[in-house]
Amino acid sequence: MKKIIVTVGPSLGNKVSIREVHSENIIYRINGALGDTHTIEENILKIKNQINDAKILLDLPGNKIRVTNLEYGFIEVESGKEFDVYFHQFNFKEFYKYIKVGDIILANDSIFKFEVVCIDKKNKKIKFKSYSSGRLLNNKGFHIKGINNRLPFLFERDFQLIELVNRYKLDFVGLSFVRDEKDIKLAKNLINNSQIIAKVETKKAVENLNNILNEVDYILIDRGDLSTEVGLFKIPVIQEQIIKKTLFFNKKIFLATQILKSMESTPIPTFPEIIDLYNAINKGIYGVQLSEETAIGDYPKKCLNVIKKILGEVK
């Protein structure tokens, strides 16, 4: 049976109860990057209280650099203008040690482009020049090509969340920004009995896919973060290569990122979304992950109905 990973949030789990959508092929995902540890624990209990035997996935945030603790919850950036972010406003306070003046940053899934102008150690802040305009929100990611390879695999937050995974004996744990089999072996030493889903979202993970597949039964292609590493136009080819290799290893693969993006705000999907979803399922993927579509979208129930209808069309 194909699986559907659905992300809980303000929409699904609050506005729409889990009981309204539950079926045996659903895995409920909690995004560990959002909310403090206490909030994450509350979300675990909220799911269990509604469906006692629900399958739960806790997705570790991993070593993705994120802006946090922003005074108003956001920074208004303008193309051609400079802005500051203090060291303590990153989830990894030593981020400044891993960058240099002139580095180009892609933020919020490449929506924003910034350049490092100055690293001010005295005043503990980084000055950026923006090449984009808009509102940079709390928890949005900052990406520099190759930086992931130099960072520790797990941040302090990941260790805290692994404790919750073990305490509540969760079914799945998602490992973010896996680079090679050593990262998975490190996590296995910390995780008791949960199934590991290794997320393929770095160039290194693509290069080391054989070794990764030897360590896990499940992988997930996160097309958003992967696109910042390999380039948007390489995603279709790389996605197909990953699917073929995963099936050759007789392992299970999930597909994520903008599965039904339009349905965050509209009640019906677009033709390209339906065709892409059908083709992906027809190629043998094990399941899909809905993120913003169910976490904050206006139509979480309709999204699930669309997925189920497409699954019914695949022979």
- Same domain as 182, residue 246: yes
- Same domain as 141, residue 16: no
Residue 290: strand pairing partners: 6
- Same domain as 203, residue 137: no
Residue partners of 36: CB distance under 8 A and separation at least 6 = none
The per-residue pLDDT for 229 is 83
- Same domain as 72, residue 53: no
What's the angle, vertex CA 10, arms to CA 20 and CA 12, rounded to 5? 20
- Same domain as 92, residue 56: no
CATH number at residue 142: 2.40.33.10
Q: How far apart are CA 223 and CA 90, in angstroms?
A: 24
Q: Which domain holds residue 275?
A: 3-62+153-313
- Same domain as 69, residue 58: no
The per-residue pLDDT for 303 is 96
Strand segments (E) across 138-182: 141-143, 172-175
User: Within 61-180, where are the H helices?
Assistant: 156-167
Domain total in the chain: 2
- Pairing mode, strands 55-59 and 82-86: unpaired
- Same domain as 234, residue 302: yes
Q: Of the candidates 149, 182, 210, which is a domain's last residue?
A: 149
- pLDDT per residue, tens digit, the chain (315 aa), is 789 999 999 999 999 999 999 999 999 999 998 888 999 999 999 999 999 999 999 999 999 899 988 888 899 999 999 999 999 999 898 999 999 999 999 988 788 999 999 999 999 999 999 999 999 998 888 988 778 888 999 999 999 999 999 999 999 999 999 999 999 999 999 999 999 999 999 999 999 999 999 999 999 999 988 988 888 899 999 999 999 999 999 999 999 999 999 999 999 999 999 999 999 999 999 999 999 999 999 999 999 999 999 988 886
68 in Cβ contact with 131 (< 8 Å): no
The per-residue pLDDT for 216 is 98
- Same domain as 269, residue 140: no
- Same domain as 79, residue 22: no
Q: How far apart are CA 222 and CA 15, in angstroms?
A: 26
Q: How far apart are CA 227 and CA 283, in angstroms?
A: 21
Q: How far apart are CA 153 and CA 258, in angstroms?
A: 26
261 in Cβ contact with 293 (< 8 Å): yes
Q: How far apart are CA 84 and CA 99, in angstroms?
A: 15
- Same domain as 37, residue 70: no
Q: Of the candidates 102, 134, 149, which is a domain's last residue?
A: 149
pTM value is 0.90
Name residue, tokens 């929409």.
11
- Same domain as 201, residue 247: yes
CATH number at residue 165: 3.20.20.60
**DSSP per-residue codes, 124-147:** TEEEEEESS-EEEETT-EEE-TTG
Residue 172: strand pairing partners: 57, 195
As a 3-state breakdown, the chain gives helix, strand, coil percent values, each rounded to 5, of 35, 25, 35
Q: Of the candidates 149, 169, 203, which is a domain's last residue?
A: 149
The per-residue pLDDT for 58 is 98
Residue 118 tokens read as: 């100055």
The per-residue pLDDT for 224 is 87
The per-residue pLDDT for 271 is 96
- Same domain as 168, residue 264: yes
